[in-house]
Structure 1
């Protein structure tokens, strides 16, 4: 059953525009020239992308007190986002070994530890999560509870990107149930065509969008790589082409797209009610993701970069 709409709060000064909860790690990218270590993790990438769009962002994650953890924290801070003090742990910082396929996409091998303390929603306009953080225990259940609390109290908008990692999410029926529970608390859900194929094998894009909508979100977007994206929102189903660029690699593309959608919701809450605003948000997200895939690693653009490309 669809919940009553919750408006993005716009009065008063907010301590945090967005609370992002999820993994931050080091991507070890294999190439013919040798390994490169880059700061990554889907939620961390979203936090960076949002900060580069000019939003106040707090990242609740899990970082080791080691050189890799320090590198992650430095890059998060450089983007303008803030790492929550509760994120630090004595465990080693997590890693993901990324092997690039010929088409520029990546496959991953993870070494990750995930636990997260209770999160405060005070002064928060949006709470975002997804990826490993939603599925891997013991942190996954705590994350789900935060989403439920935000939805039940109306404290913040909830956004979600499942970003399925089959090796880490457990059995299909368990992961699907967790995704459905999280989506029931969400206002906006973004998933990739690969996520959709894993969650709902055999369903076409339109059927997936309507299936996810049945859980309760007001806006659902499915990205389709070079084929652009399709979304279900005000006015029904809308499609947008991908930005035409030379693809360097696709690491962080979906995260940049997600960050842009959240940014649009903060800038113009009408995306939940007005078809033209929703279409504009899809276009902006396509440009944001396109700029990202034209660069090496997860390196989302600034607001100025996107605005310039949209002119």
Structure 2
């Protein structure tokens, strides 16, 4: 159970946690709900730690684009929680006070292969407060472990229904070892997809949810659940986007890869920012291609450096 705190005790030697409260029902462009954790990376040079977690990375990417973004997550009142909070707030993310819990901050051990791909071992707990949130977001983004792990996943759905935002975006970012059998996971995925305006998933997610099904059939099946825009990332091969009966294929970018940590989250942050800026009804094939190209370009910046170091606005080309 999450405990809402507004100010840490400030004991001598204790980490200082930020996450200042705002006035009730504060308007915010985007609220992200989901896990934040410390990525512990094992590589040839040894071990390093960097804040991560799919939803927290998305919030980070949006904050670095100048989006007014808040994050509801789980962070321990420990040194890792303090480090993650400072990292997020430095990039313009408002970490909600309801995010702080008695449990230790979650971690993910990432092992980097020679090609830069990462495999993970998780030590994660996820719960979500059942209290009404004092924010009024236009867009809510969620996904990853927060959508599938108990006891918090049902409460995330309840928040979506209670907040009733104009836009809901969803990225399952599936971790099979942590979330159970495909049939149960598919059912929960579809619960979220029915509420979503935009769904982004990887080709590995698609294969897990709908094994041995052609990608165009998967896109159609997800679109029929209700989302207006569905995107599937394909690593170095780029991405496929589907909306309003348009399907576009966006090629990947040939760039030197340090690691792939945060690439999908960068794509998601770009997609949220781009979609949110569209005029109602504006999803032509040209616009869809531009959204995909921008997202692929942004992800190519992230893979060129270590960890989930998502790009800032100054590093991105303006959308034509």
Question: Scaled by the length of structure 2, what TM-score is found?
Answer: 0.88
State the Cα distance separating 1:265 from its structure 2 match. Answer: 1.5
State the Cα distance separating 1:244 from its structure 2 match. Answer: 2.2
Q: 1:25 corresponds to which residue? A: 37
| 1:137 aligns to 2:140 (yes or no) | no
Q: Distance in 1 between matches of 2:211 and 2:92?
A: 39
Q: Distance in 2 between matches of 1:20 and 1:254?
A: 15
| 1:286 aligns to 2:296 (yes or no) | yes
Q: Distance in 1 between matches of 2:199 and 2:133?
A: 22
Q: Per-residue CA shift, 1:102-149, capped at 9, x if unaligned?
A: 321111111111111135374311000000000000001101222234
Q: 1:4 corresponds to which residue? A: none
State the Cα distance separating 1:230 from its structure 2 match. Answer: 0.3
2:229 pairs with 219, 223, 236, which one?
219
Q: 2:276 corresponds to which residue? A: 266
On the 8 A contact 2:127/2:151 being kept in 1, the answer is yes
Q: Distance in 2 between matches of 1:209 and 1:146?
A: 26
| 1:148 aligns to 2:161 (yes or no) | yes
2:139 pairs with 99, 117, 126, which one?
126
How many residue pairs get matched?
294
On the 8 A contact 2:246/2:284 being kept in 1, the answer is no
1:93 pairs with 89, 105, 130, which one?
105
| 1:75 aligns to 2:87 (yes or no) | yes
Q: Distance in 1 between matches of 2:260 and 2:281?
A: 26
State the Cα distance separating 1:269 from its structure 2 match. Answer: 3.9
Quickly say closer, same or farther: Cα 1:222–1:272, change in 2 above 3 A: farther
Q: Per-residue CA shift, 1:276-304, capped at 9, x if unaligned?
A: 22221111101110111111100111122
Q: CA RMSD in A?
A: 1.6
Question: Scaled by the length of structure 1, what TM-score is found?
Answer: 0.91
- Structure 1 stretches lacking a partner, 5+ long: 1-13
1:239 pairs with 222, 243, 249, which one?
249
Q: Distance in 2 between matches of 1:48 and 1:299?
A: 9
Q: Per-residue CA shift, 1:240-261, capped at 9, x if unaligned?
A: 1112211110000000000000
- Structure 2 stretches lacking a partner, 5+ long: 1-25
Q: Per-residue CA shift, 1:19-54, capped at 9, x if unaligned?
A: 000000001110122111110000000000001111
Quickly say closer, same or farther: Cα 1:123–1:250, change in 2 above 3 A: same
Q: 1:3 corresponds to which residue? A: none
Q: Distance in 1 between matches of 2:116 and 2:110?
A: 11
Matches within 5 A, 1:56-75: 56-75=68-87
Identify, as 1 or 2, the structure richer in helix.
Answer: 1
On the 8 A contact 1:73/1:83 being kept in 2, the answer is yes
| 1:45 aligns to 2:57 (yes or no) | yes
Quickly say closer, same or farther: Cα 1:87–1:275, change in 2 above 3 A: same
Q: Distance in 2 between matches of 1:248 and 1:82?
A: 29
Q: Distance in 2 between matches of 1:43 and 1:52?
A: 14
Q: 2:309 corresponds to which residue? A: 299
